[in-house]
Homo-oligomer: A and B are copies of this chain.
Amino acid sequence: MNILKNLLWPEIEELIDLKEWKILKNILSEWDIPNLVELIKEVDDKNKIIIFRILPKNISNELFSEIDYEDQKVILSKMTDQQIKEILLELEPDDRTMLFEELPGKILQKYLNLLPDEERKEALELFGYPEESVGRLMTPNYTAVRPEWTIKKALEHIKERGYKSETINVIYITDEKWHFLDALELKKFILASPELLVKDIMDYIFVTLSPYDDREKAVSLMRHYNLSALPVVDSDNILVGIVTFDDVMDVAKEEATEDFHKTAGILPLEENYLKIDIRKLFLKRIGWLLSLVFINIFSGAIISRFENLIMTFVALVFFMPLLNDSAGNAGSQSATLIIRFMATNEMKWKDGLIILLKDFFVAILLAIAMGISVFLLGMFRGGIRVSIVASLAMFTIIVISSILGTILPLILKAFRIDPATASSPLITSLADIISVTVYFTIAKIILF
């Protein structure tokens, strides 16, 4: 980190408090973008706008594309139409699409109207692709060369065109009609003799995406093949854009966060936890909580059928939370293992069988260990008979819930539902039904 500049932080805060804008302007104009991004993040909304305004235009334009959407929205809301237009035009097309996605419909329409015809058309085109698709992620600003050019001519073209390109780490080779032919690292151009032709160094080793592919495919291909940019071609093999590693890293993070939240029975948040409002957060959480109330009607109903048994042996109730929790925990462990495996690997059905078998054996071992520990615990608390009941129930429950935890995501996948829907809360509630049924049935057989 640029430590020297960070040392100035307390001083900057003071200047903001004192509203010393002129001095601030002089200091901040010397700062680099990453530090300015931090600063904007740190100060309150009013100061964000002031800082943004005092910066020289070339800096503020570059800064804008680096700050959070929330901050972008705050800043745009206080700009004149002319200023908004300028800022929007300075953004890379993919950054612009991402900002637009975050805007409410009315404001989006207004901003779109501010753009010149060509840019508006481009924005609308990028918008034509489904949400979470590669099309929404790509930028049309790539650099392409032709196979019949010399390396020298290609390098000159790269030099001319490079400023406009989002990356020139990878150079694309197309014919005159923009049909995609190959992708080569800039490295190869630099290292080749200038008099060779581009087609001499072409290797036809590439992977391509379709704009309709799920953006998770971009993540897995980039990770798998260690590429810093991927070409996107349409059904006619025309190179329509590229996806770069920085966007893909953000997607990977968002997708992982979504899966985390799903695992706990929370609908995807879309916004930062710190910024989402309370009403939205409530709605994202209440759905699963309420649904599970209804699944729990079953466990309640099952328990009520054993009313007499419970009245006779109240000690049975002492073990209920333990058995229910253990069932839920074992089930969630299995579910988490297979859900995360499916999210990071292309799982074949054969793999599913291996995992199921493996889970079965592990479940037996876990069930034995848990059964023994409950037996010892039961001896203290409920006497030998209750103890035997609890430990037999524990054994059976662990095996069944563990297998349920593995099978449920597999079934969901078979029906093309996101396996992460088999969240821990769902598994827990299902495991409860299994748990009370098994427990009280065993108790009835042994104790009555």
List residues of chain A with CB under 8 Å of any chain B CB. Answer: 1-2, 32-34, 37, 155, 158-159, 162-163, 167-169, 185-187, 190-191, 203-208, 222-226, 228, 245-246, 248-250, 252-253, 256-257, 259-261, 263-266, 272-274, 278, 281-282, 285-286, 288-290, 292-293, 296-297, 299-301, 303-304, 307, 310-311, 314-315, 317-322, 324-326, 328-330, 332-333, 335-341, 344-345, 351, 354-355, 358, 361-362, 365-366, 369-370, 373-374, 377, 381, 424-425, 428-429, 432, 436
A374 & B332 in contact (Cβ 8 Å cutoff): no
Question: B162 contacts A191, CB within 8 Å?
Answer: yes
Contact residues in B for A354 (Cβ distance below 8 Å) = 274
The CA of A114 and the CA of B336, in the complex, are separated in Å by: 41
* Most chain B CB within a 10 A radius of its CB, from A162, A320, A344: A320
| In contact, B329 and A290 (Cβ under 8 angstroms) | no
CA–CA, A224 and B333, complex, Å? 32
Please report whether the interface of chain A is mostly helix, strand, loop or mixed according to DSSP.
Answer: helix
> What B residues does A338 contact at CB under 8 A?
273
A337 touches B253 (CB 8 A): no
* CB pair A366 B289 closer than 8 Å: yes
B329 A303 Cβ-Cβ under 8 A: no
Residue of B nearest to A207 (CB): B1
Give Cα A266 to B351, complex, Å: 21
B163 & A191 in contact (Cβ 8 Å cutoff)? yes
Q: Which residue of B lies closest to A360 (CB)?
A: B278
A433 shortest CB reach to chain B, Å: 9
Contact in complex: A332, B425 (CB < 8 Å): yes
Within the assembled complex, what's the spacing in Å between the Cα atoms of A344 and B310?
48
In the complex, chain B residues whose CB is within 8 Å of the CB of A340: 257, 260-261, 273
Query: Given A246-B226, A338-B273, does the pair A432, B321 have CB atoms closer than 8 Å?
Result: yes
Given contacts A186-B186, A190-B186, A282-B366, contact A424 B293 (CB under 8 A): no
Q: Which residues of B contact A366 (CB under 8 A)?
A: 282, 285-286, 289
Known contacts A191-B163, A317-B310, A326-B293; A34 and B370 CB within 8 A of each other: no
* Chain B residues near A204 (CB-CB < 8 A): 32
Cα A159 to Cα B206 with chains together (Å): 23
Partner of A293, one of B290, B373, B432: B373
Min CB gap A98→B, angstroms? 13
